[in-house]
């Protein structure tokens, strides 16, 4: 039996909405399961790459050091990398902090904001908590990205059409109706 | 004190008839009086001319010679065009900044002197140059820069910096400037003797429509660069019904590397004013406006005296030379430092007392221009040609130049050559001939028509200067083989980004994205795909921008890429998969490391 095409997915600084949209392909997910094998992905909860993948789907932008690390490993382990959704492509809602210095953001969140109970007056510093970047970066400013699927979230049909095209070796095209929102 | 400001401002407004359309003159006068147009002044102006304060603020913040914050008594504007960079701008800037004890863009603590930079001031043949208030200083060196600052500190009088005057009318008591004309080649159209009034009499022998026919027969095309047939423009204006029409002379030559209009204004003022009067006669207009760029303000008293002289001689005013019913008057509208105002619809906006925003076309200015009236906007050189055509005849004019581009062209040649200056040459001359004339050696590339036109390399040296081949508004900038063409392109992108009016996104955002790409490639982190991206983005900006600025700004980039051809592989390389070279994790996490007090485990 021919090995199935391997796909990895990840949500960096996103809301998992793009992954939800992927599930929105409804019963076509059965067909997808026939075509591909999921590697590292929240869908099967694998935390590391099992082997090299043909396609990597990235939701969310990079707001902390772990995001960068994960994105780098996606770039190294996937032949084609797709930025999916507003956050991956532009930084999204998270990037609203980009005009405010990081120090002010942290101080406001953990020290100054009304209702904060922080008797030690310290910014949380557990090694498990990844360090924030000075601003939120869209994925293509961190690694090379091959394709972009816009939307917040992108429509299930858009995701499906792009995946099917890539899997069948065609140039992906998103139909106008699938990225028209008004 | 505040009362005083309001009072003086109100008087200034009154002097201009509290006319909303004269907002430029009002703002310039207030700026000159107070060193700024403060919020209080803006409020007073708005009240006086009957508009909103934001309208005034929108104008003041648009033009670089106007400012909301107070500037020094003396403002030194060092020209930062690429030719000035090549001739030592950085060293001069550093020397002057150090002598003043401030950095570029600052004012000395005592409020005496401001040091700032400005794009091309039309002195590329005598660079590095600077404007000190409206006084031009040329051929600067670090030592002369320091001396200039010391002298200014002593007397704060820019005019005293002129210890030696230039040649020609630069010696005129009303000019007294150290600017040199550097006329290297005199042609028959502009630099032959000109007797005021004669061309006008010739025009009066003809009916206005026959004057237009004469211009048509001469095949005169606009000298600003676009090459629109002058007669067609005039015809359109003459045939558009209306009580009043306007003739505007575009003396806002802001295209970097262009300075020929400066020389024409200095040496051929009579010919220009006569050309405007003839244009007025031909299209049925009684009002002319010369839109003079702020950088050439030092020529204003001289030009004004020429206008007054012609009034006395009966070449301007009512019933000119006894021609009943033909009245024509000319006023000078001063600009305030905005490249975009060289574009005719932006220029009209500026004359109307608005921000220099381009207007939508159609309607075209000959149909609906200044104050919504039919208006012709012609370049200084075009109008000078008109006088000569009337004198010598259309046939004579059409016999000069190449088949489709008749007459001569006044070129401003600068850059890496031994004889920078102004050359009046017949159209059809080749680039190779120009290189020989200007004694340039080891030429790597040329900008024909300045950055908004095209950059060419060795391959096109036999190209002809004419509208069918290499079109130019006059600028020829020569670069030797050692100059990095992409760096030249980047320099001009900075210029265009600065001068973009910001109205449309392709230009406002696209140019910055393009500059980032160019910078990436120059800094050695580019990939082959970046070159395609540069081409795609350039074409996108050209196709989607609203006015000529965005439509032209990517040209140097495209030119550089074309010259490189396949050799551009040397600048870019395929990268290994991983983080992009321009992304620096250690810089991205340093803020968090400092605030939290722990090092990133990935750095």
CATH number where B572 lies: 1.20.1440.230
* CA atoms of B45 and B19, how far apart (whole Å): 10
Residue ranges of domains in chain A, CATH in brackets: 5-95+134-178 (3.40.50.700)
**Do B518 and B470 share a domain, yes or no?**
no
Unique residue bearing structure tokens 């032959």: B192
% of chain A surpassing 70 pLDDT: 99
Residue B408 is inside which H or E element, if any? strand B408-415
Residue-range definition of the domain harbouring residue B131: 75-163
Q: Angle B470-B472-B475 (CA atoms, 0-180°, nearest 5)?
A: 125
B154 within some domain: yes
CB contact under 8 Å between A142 and B579, yes or no, is yes
| Half-sphere exposure for B8 (CA within 13 Å, toward CB) | 16
For residues A138-142, average pLDDT? 96
| Half-sphere exposure for B110 (CA within 13 Å, toward CB) | 7
* pLDDT one-digit tens code per residue, B180-217: 999 999 999 999 999 999 999 999 999 999 999 999 99
**Do B148 and B275 share a domain, yes or no?**
no
Q: Which of B113, B141, B163 is the last residue of a domain?
A: B163
Nearest by CB to A143, from B578, B589, B601: name it. Answer: B578
Residue of A nearest to B578 (CA): A72
A134 touches chain B (CB under 8 A): yes
For residues B548-561, average pLDDT? 93
Pick the more confident residue, A179 or B95. Answer: B95
CB contact under 8 Å between B595 and A106, yes or no, is yes
CB contact under 8 Å between A137 and B583, yes or no, is yes
* pLDDT one-digit tens code per residue, B70-90: 999 999 999 999 999 999 999
Nearest by CB to A143, from B580, B595, B598: name it. Answer: B580
Rounded to two decimals, what is the model's pTM? 0.85
Q: Record the tokens describing residue B248, joined without a space.
A: 């505007």
Nearest by CB to A141, from B575, B583, B596: name it. Answer: B583
Per-residue pLDDT band for B569 (boundaries 50, 70, 90) equals low
CB contact under 8 Å between A76 and B596, yes or no, is no
- Are β-strands B113-118 and B74-79 bridged in parallel, bridged antiparallel, or unpaired? parallel
Q: Is B182 left (phi over 0), alpha (psi -120 to 50) or beta?
A: left
CB contact under 8 Å between B588 and A137, yes or no, is yes
* CA atoms of B464 and B462, how far apart (whole Å): 6
How many other C-beta atoms can be found within 10 angstroms of the C-beta atom of residue A91?
Answer: 23
**Do B135 and B262 share a domain, yes or no?**
no
Distance of CA B67 to the CA centre of its chain: 20
Kindly state the DSSP code that residue B325 receives in the 8-state scheme: T
* CA atoms of B210 and A83, how far apart (whole Å): 66
Phi and psi, residue B260, nearest 5°: -70, -35
Q: Record the tokens describing residue B214, joined without a space.
A: 């004469």
**Do B80 and B22 share a domain, yes or no?**
no
Contacts of A136 in chain B (CB under 8 A): none
Kindly state the DSSP code that residue A111 receives in the 8-state scheme: I
CB contact under 8 Å between A65 and B589, yes or no, is yes
Contacts of A132 in chain B (CB under 8 A): 589, 591-592
Per-residue pLDDT band for B1 (boundaries 50, 70, 90) equals very low
Q: Which of B378, B398, B418 is the last residue of a domain?
A: B398
A4 touches chain B (CB under 8 A): no
Cis peptide before A153 (omega within 30 of 0): yes
Residue of A nearest to B576 (CA): A76
B490 within some domain: no
The whole-angstrom distance between A28's CA and the closest CA on chain B is 32
Report the SS3 class of residue B139: coil
Q: Among the residues of B76-172, which ranges form H helices?
A: 82-86, 89-100, 142-155
Distance of CA B457 to the CA centre of its chain: 25
A109 touches chain B (CB under 8 A): no
Q: Record the tokens describing residue B134, joined without a space.
A: 């409206």
Kindly state the DSSP code that residue B357 receives in the 8-state scheme: P
B537 within some domain: yes
* B415-418: Cβ within 8 A, 24+ apart: B415/B83, B415/B86, B415/B124, B415/B257, B415/B440, B415/B446, B415/B476, B415/B477, B415/B478, B415/B479, B416/B86, B416/B440, B416/B441, B416/B442, B416/B443, B416/B478, B416/B479, B416/B480, B416/B483, B417/B478
Q: Which residues of chain B are at the A interface, by a Cβ-Cβ cutoff of 8 Å?
A: 527, 575, 577-580, 582-583, 585, 587-598, 600-602
**Do B442 and B465 share a domain, yes or no?**
yes
**Do B433 and B543 share a domain, yes or no?**
no
**Do B350 and B212 share a domain, yes or no?**
yes
Nearest by CB to B577, from A76, A124, A134: name it. Answer: A76
* pLDDT one-digit tens code per residue, B318-364: 999 999 999 999 999 999 999 999 999 999 999 999 999 999 889 99
Q: Record the tokens describing residue B363, joined without a space.
A: 């309607």
**Do B394 and B413 share a domain, yes or no?**
no
**Do B389 and B413 share a domain, yes or no?**
no
* CA atoms of B299 and B334, how far apart (whole Å): 11
Helix axes A156-167, A28-35, angle to 10 degrees: 30
B65 within some domain: no
CB contact under 8 Å between B580 and A144, yes or no, is yes
Q: How many domains does chain B have?
A: 5
A144 touches chain B (CB under 8 A): yes
**Do B390 and B289 share a domain, yes or no?**
yes
The enclosing domain of B111 has a CATH number of: 3.40.30.10
Q: For residue B305, count CB atoms less than 10 angstroms from its CB and return exposed for 0-12, middle for 13-18, buried for 19 or more.
A: middle
The whole-angstrom distance between A31's CA and the closest CA on chain B is 31
**Do B243 and B382 share a domain, yes or no?**
yes
Examine the pLDDT at A1 and tell me if it is beyond 70: no
* pLDDT one-digit tens code per residue, B101-144: 999 999 999 999 999 999 999 999 999 999 999 999 999 999 99
Contacts of A123 in chain B (CB under 8 A): 595-596
DSSP secondary structure of B495-538:
HHHHH--S-SHHHHTHHHHHHHHHHHHHTT---HHHHHHHHHHH
Examine the pLDDT at A69 and tell me if it is beyond 50: yes
Q: Which of residues 74-103 of A touch B (CB under 8 A)?
A: 75-76, 101-103
Contacts of A137 in chain B (CB under 8 A): 583, 588
Q: Record the tokens describing residue B88, joined without a space.
A: 């030592």
DSSP secondary structure of B13-81:
HHHTTT-GGGHHHHHHHHHHHHSS--HHHHHHHHHHHTS-HHHHHHHHTTSTT--SS---SEEEEEE--
Q: Which of B364, B379, B398 is the last residue of a domain?
A: B398
Interface test with B, best of A65, A69, A138 (most B CBs within 10 A): A65
As separate numbers, helices (DSSP H) first and strands (DSSP E) second, chain B gives 24, 14
B184 within some domain: no
B332 bridge partner residues? B290
Helix axes B208-218, B230-239, angle to 10 degrees: 160
**Do B385 and B250 share a domain, yes or no?**
yes
ipTM of predicted complex: 0.91
Contacts of B600 in chain A (CB under 8 A): 65, 131
Residue of B nearest to A78 (CA): B577
Per-residue pLDDT band for B582 (boundaries 50, 70, 90) equals confident
Q: Angle B111-B113-B118 (CA atoms, 0-180°, nearest 5)?
A: 125
Please report the number of interchain residue pairs, chain A to chain B, with beta-carbon separation below 8 angstroms: 72
DSSP secondary structure of B537-597:
HHHHHHHH-SSHHHHHTTHHHHHHHHHHGGGGGGT-----SSB-TT--HHHHHHHHHHHHT
Arithmetic mean of pLDDT over chain B? 94
Q: Record the tokens describing residue A4, joined without a space.
A: 């199935």
pLDDT at B303: 98
Residue of B nearest to A77 (CA): B577
Examine the pLDDT at B536 and tell me if it is beyond 60: yes
Kindly state the DSSP code that residue A154 receives in the 8-state scheme: P
């Amino acid at each position: 039996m021919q090995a199935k095409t391997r796909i990895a997915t990840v949500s960096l600084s996103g809301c998992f909405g793009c992954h939800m949209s992927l599930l929105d392909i409804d019963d076509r997910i059965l067909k997808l399961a026939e075509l591909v094998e999921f590697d590292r992905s929240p869908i099967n909860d694998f935390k590391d790459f099992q082997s090299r993948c043909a396609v990597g789907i990235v939701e969310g932008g990079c707001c902390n050091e772990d995001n960068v690390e994960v994105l780098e490993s996606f770039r190294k382990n996937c032949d084609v990398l797709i930025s999916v959704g507003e956050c991956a492509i532009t930084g999204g809602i998270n990037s609203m902090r980009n005009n405010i210095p990081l120090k002010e953001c942290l101080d406001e969140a953990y020290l100054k904001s009304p209702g904060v109970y922080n008797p030690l007056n310290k910014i949380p510093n557990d090694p498990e908590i990844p360090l924030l970047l000075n601003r939120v970066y869209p994925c293509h400013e961190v690694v090379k990205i091959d394709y972009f699927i816009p939307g917040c979230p992108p429509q299930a049909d858009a995701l499906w059409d792009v995946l099917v095209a890539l899997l069948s070796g065609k140039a992906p095209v998103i139909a106008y109706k699938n990225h028209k929102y008004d | 004190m505040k009362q005083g400001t309001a009072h003086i401002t109100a008087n200034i407004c009154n002097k201009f008839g509290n006319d909303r359309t004269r907002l430029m003159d009002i703002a310039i006068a207030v700026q000159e009086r107070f060193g700024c147009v403060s919020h209080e002044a803006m409020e007073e102006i708005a009240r006086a001319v009957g508009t909103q304060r934001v309208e005034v603020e929108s104008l003041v913040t648009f033009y670089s010679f106007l400012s909301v914050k107070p500037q020094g008594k003396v403002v030194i504007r060092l020209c930062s065009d690429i030719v000035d960079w090549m001739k030592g701008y950085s060293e001069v800037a550093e020397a002057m900044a150090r002598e003043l004890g401030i950095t570029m863009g600052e004012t000395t603590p005592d409020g005496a002197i401001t040091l700032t930079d400005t794009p091309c001031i039309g002195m590329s043949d005598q660079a590095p140059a600077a404007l000190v208030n409206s006084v031009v200083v040329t051929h600067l060196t670090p030592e002369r820069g320091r001396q200039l600052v010391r002298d200014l500190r002593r007397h704060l009088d820019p005019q005293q910096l002129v210890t030696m005057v230039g040649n020609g009318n630069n010696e005129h008591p009303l000019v007294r400037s150290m600017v040199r004309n550097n006329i290297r080649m005199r042609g028959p159209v502009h630099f032959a003797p000109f007797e005021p009034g004669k061309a006008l009499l010739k025009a009066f022998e003809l009916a206005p429509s026959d004057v237009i026919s004469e211009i048509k027969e001469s095949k005169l095309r606009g000298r600003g660069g676009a090459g629109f047939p002058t007669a067609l423009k005039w015809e359109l204006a003459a045939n558009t019904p209306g009580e009043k029409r306007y003739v505007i002379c575009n003396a806002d030559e802001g295209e970097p590397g262009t300075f020929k209009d400066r020389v024409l204004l200095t040496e051929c003022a009579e010919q220009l004013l006569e050309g405007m009067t003839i244009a007025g006669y031909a299209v049925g207009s009684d009002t002319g406006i010369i839109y003079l760029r702020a950088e050439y303000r030092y020529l204003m008293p001289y030009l004004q005296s020429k206008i007054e002289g012609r009034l006395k001689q009966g070449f301007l005013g009512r019933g000119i030379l006894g021609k009943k019913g033909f009245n024509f008057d000319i006023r000078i509208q001063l600009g305030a430092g905005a490249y975009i105002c060289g574009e005719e619809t932006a220029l009209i906006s500026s004359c109307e007392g608005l921000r220099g925003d381009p207007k939508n076309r159609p309607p075209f200015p000959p149909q609906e221009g200044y104050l919504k009236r039919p208006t012709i906007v012609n370049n200084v050189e075009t109008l000078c040609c008109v006088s000569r055509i009337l004198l010598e005849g259309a046939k004579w004019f059409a016999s000069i130049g190449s088949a489709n581009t008749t007459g001569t062209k006044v070129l401003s040649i600068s850059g890496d050559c031994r004889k920078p200056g102004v050359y009046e040459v017949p159209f059809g001359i080749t680039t190779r001939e120009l290189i020989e004339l200007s004694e340039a050696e080891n030429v790597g590339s040329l900008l024909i028509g300045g950055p908004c036109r095209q950059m060419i390399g060795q391959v096109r040296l036999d190209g002809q200067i004419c509208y069918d081949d290499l079109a130019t508004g006059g600028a020829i900038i020569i670069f030797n083989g050692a100059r990095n063409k992409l760096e030249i392109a980047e320099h001009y992108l900075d210029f265009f980004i600065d001068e973009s009016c910001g109205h449309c996104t392709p230009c406002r955002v696209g140019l910055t994205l393009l500059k980032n790409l160019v910078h990436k490639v120059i800094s050695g982190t580019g990939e082959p795909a970046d070159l395609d991206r540069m081409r795609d983005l350039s074409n996108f900006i050209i196709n989607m921008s609203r006015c000529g600025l965005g439509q032209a700004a990517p040209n140097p980039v495209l030119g550089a890429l074309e010259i490189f051809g396949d050799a551009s592989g040397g600048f870019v390389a395929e990268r290994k998969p991983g983080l992009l070279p321009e992304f620096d994790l250690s810089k991205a996490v340093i803020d968090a490391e400092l605030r939290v007090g722990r090092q990133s485990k990935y750095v």
